[in-house]
Chain A
Amino acid sequence: MTSLRKLENGVLTVGTFAAAALWIFPLYWAFITSMRSEDRVVSKEAGVLPDEFNPAAYIDILWNTNLVSWYINSIGTAVIITFTVVVSGMMCAYAISQMRFPGRRILYGVVLASFMVPSQALVVTQFILMNDMGLINTWAGIILPQLIVPVVIIVYKQFFDAVPKEMREAVVLDGGGDYTLLFKVYLPLNWGITTALGIITFIMAWNQFLWPFLAVTTENKMTIPVGITQVNDAFGVFYARLMSVALLGAMPVAIAYLIFQKKVTEAVMISSGVKG
């Protein structure tokens, strides 16, 4: 019985990694392709194993596209979005959770309701608004419509609600106001949540396609996900270069994920409410 169990376990583990190998294959294949010359990529002899380490495609991409501008735009807009969303969400959640003011319940109702509304359905009128404000092809135009992330407020509120009331009293006795409470007590107590929400917001903003695609038309103002589709149009079917630009575009977040794997895993679990 136990040896049967052992065999079963072995088979399951091997099966798991066979499935994992299949799952990672597209990325492996993109890498192999990107390291070959364009001729080699489409030749009959090119097998599934790595056989060439030719960085020509990467060099070509770095020289002949706006990749560096796209990096700067992506990092710049994603950082500003993340910071603004987390700070404004934290402040709003604190007020809803800890203070009494008229309209508090309505405000939280609006936050919950907007959580259920697809922002994609608003792109037409958001575009008209940004166009009226003269913000098409600017960072502000990319950033503004991405600043509403209701889940940040919802998660913060839950965690602020759970902070024991005694924590407040010491600060209040010393004459500290709500800003002191928020930044000296509630924020330090919830650093884990802040990192988690920051990570989730950053990944979302970095990968956003539809809105930046609509809000930007000039090539050097594009973000990474939009920019790399331009390489397609410029090169046609030069797959070594297409794969190298795709991998270069994916690299920063992929590396960050591999370094902070545990944090990201936790962040996804917390922000979707399955782990508190």
Chain B
Amino acid sequence: MAMLTNRRKEMAVAASLVAPFVLTFALVFLYPAIRLVELSFTNSPLIGAGEWVGFDNFTRLLSDKLFLTSLKNNGYFVLLTVIPTTAIALCIALMINRLRGSLQALALAIFFLPYILPVSVVTQIWTWMLDFQFGVLQPVIAFFFGKSVAVFKNPYWVMPTVAMVTIWWTNGFNVLLFIAGLRNIPKDYYEAAQLDGATRLQLFRRVTWPLLWPVTALVLTLQMILQLKIFDQIYLLTKGGPFNSSYVMLLMVYREAFQLNHGGYASAIALVLFIIIAAFSVLQYQLLRAGGRR
């Protein structure tokens, strides 16, 4: 009998412990997720009721030129950022890792600092640096390409430029992950290899790279997911222009929902984005588990 009341008491305590999270989760995460699926099958405006339209929104997506452009731009942006930022972060981490003491702290602080800036601070600084008339980088561009370029108004320049700004902003996070990974590699591996007369390049190829691979895989997949969700920088730097050449899916969700008042259609786009990212996340999770087992 006493066992039973004890058990009941433990359940009550457990319930009170999980309640704050579970209730908030149900309200602001689960419920909106269910509503998102429901709305994507209707033609409702943002606020107010609509009618059930079946798969209309999704079939419309397939022939919506702007959606296809956005999808393509999302892919292009991933290409422009994921591997470059991983490579740059690895180089920087290797450079910082050989420094010692306060020199190391200083270099790390400099490369990490942009990561803690709010996105709008980053975009304002780069808008100014790249200003067509007065930007401090325009002479540099003119030197290499013969003339100044209005980078955010040029369909060829716009995505690479946004990618560069994004890399400058978020790279510090990846540098930290690589440094943590480098610190986890036991020192004796290097000492043993050096005794055998290995060169710097051989050390990197035979010791660092293979032992660092789990971290590299982590950075690659984290970046992949992060960059698919791009919205802030695009909205602040280009608003999707010029000629929709920097339009991305989340920007389209924003436009359809909050500017054109198409709640149902926006939900359908959001749901597609949701599924794409969830798929990549599952892939990442599997990769990491596989990495952990090794």
Contacts and interface: CB of A to CB of B under 8 A. Distances in A.
Nearest to B10: A99
Question: What band does the interface of chain B fall in when counting residues whose beta carbon is under 8 Å from A?
Answer: 35 or more
A88 interface: yes
B47 A128 contact: yes
B18 to A, nearest CB: 5
Contacts of A274: 177, 180-181, 184, 215, 218
Given A48-B136, A121-B277, A178 B116 contact: no
Interface residues of A, number: 95
A120 B95 contact: no
**Most A-side CB within 10 Å, residue of B95, B106, B285, B288:** B95
A209 B232 contact: yes
A242 B113 contact: no
B252 to A, nearest CB: 11
Interface in B108-123: 108-114, 116-121
Nearest to A248: B121
A26 B263 contact: no
Interface of A, secondary structure class, is helix
A249 B121 contact: yes
A41 B134 contact: yes
A249 B121 CA distance: 7
A226 B118 CA distance: 9
B68 interface: no
B258 interface: yes
Interface of A: 8-9, 12-13, 15-17, 19-20, 23-24, 26-27, 29-30, 33, 41-42, 48, 84, 87-89, 91-92, 94-96, 99-102, 107, 110, 112, 114-129, 131, 144-145, 147-148, 153, 177-179, 182, 203, 206-207, 209-210, 214, 224-226, 228-229, 232, 237, 239, 242-243, 245-247, 249-250, 253-254, 257-258, 261, 264-265, 268-269, 272-275
Report, nearest first, the 8 A-B pairs whose CB atoms are least far apart. A116-B281, A225-B118, A125-B32, A121-B274, A88-B20, A95-B17, A92-B21, A101-B14
